[in-house]
Amino acid sequence: MRLHWVIGFCLLAAAAAASPVDEYVEYSGVATVRHTTTFLYGERHILHYHDGKLTERAVLYSCADGSSFARKSVHYDNTLAPDFRLEDKATGLLQGIRSKDGARTVFFRSNANGQDKEGPLPSAPGLVADAGFEEFVQVHWSQLQAGETLSMRFLVPSRLDAYGFQVQHLRSERIDGVPTEVIRLRLSNIWGWFLPSIDAYYSTTDHLLVHYDGLSDLQDMAGNNYKVEISYKPANRHPSDDRALQASLAAPLSACR
């Protein structure tokens, strides 16, 4: 009888250990006009991990009064080029990638009165899109730290196409006392020397995004992407839950800008 109890207990313990684990993490950021302290918007990110793998992200963009004007939802069925939808209520901007019946489509609308554009997602090998860039950096962290310059195709939704970019480790730098590694993304052709690059600062120890310096996904009323710096404080990361994630996905948006 005792042996049966021990075997049963072990089976239950093994089943519990094998049960899927869902974890949620939340953090926030503040975007300012590049090289100034002028507030542009706030960001609130909620990430969902299933068995340690990132599967979903929700981002709310907020005005100074805390009301939300834009939202991004990301689904990581494809890690480097995930499905996503970014909607800005203030300008009418809409862009993203969607999957349906085995086909993937990129879509874009510049403003509320703009024409909706869509087309097949480019089939470039190793295509990177939107938040997939962070995953690209994590996968290639060792190569970047070793000084390799990596090439990739990065999706530009407004063009419904992907372009060649280069990614490299630029330097080490402390941000608010946190040791970081600066990763630069720029166009790989001659225009890369003239057009703005993007610098992403990741903490040296745990590879978390600490600071961002470059073009925003969001646009002003004239349709120009903001040039921003976004500050994220790793110390402010904290556990969250599915209730908060779903609330972010359902939160009403207002044209508060």
Query: Which residues of the chain fall below pLDDT 70?
Result: 1-19, 189-195, 257
pLDDT, tens only, 15-56: 445 567 999 999 999 999 999 999 999 999 999 999 999 999
Quote the tokens at residue 198. Answer: 């993007």
Q: Which helix (H) or strand (E) holds 30?
A: strand 22-33
Please give the pLDDT value at position 18: 57
Please give the pLDDT value at position 257: 64
Quote the tokens at residue 119. Answer: 């087309």
Give the global pTM.
0.89
Please give the pLDDT value at position 20: 76
- Beta-carbon count within 10 A of 209 CB: 19
Distances (CA, A) of 86 to 60, 72, 109, 145, 233: 10, 4, 10, 31, 23
Sequence ranges of the domains in the chain = 20-250
Nearest to 80, CA basis, from 142, 22, 137: 137
Taking a C-beta distance cutoff of 8 angstroms, is the pair 172, 181 a contact?
A: yes
Give the residue ranges of DSSP H helices in 110-231: 132-139, 141-145
Please give the pLDDT value at position 90: 94
Please give the pLDDT value at position 12: 43
Please give the pLDDT value at position 14: 44
Length of the chain as a residue count? 257
Instruction: Map tokens 């979903």 to a residue.
Output: 56
Please give the pLDDT value at position 175: 93
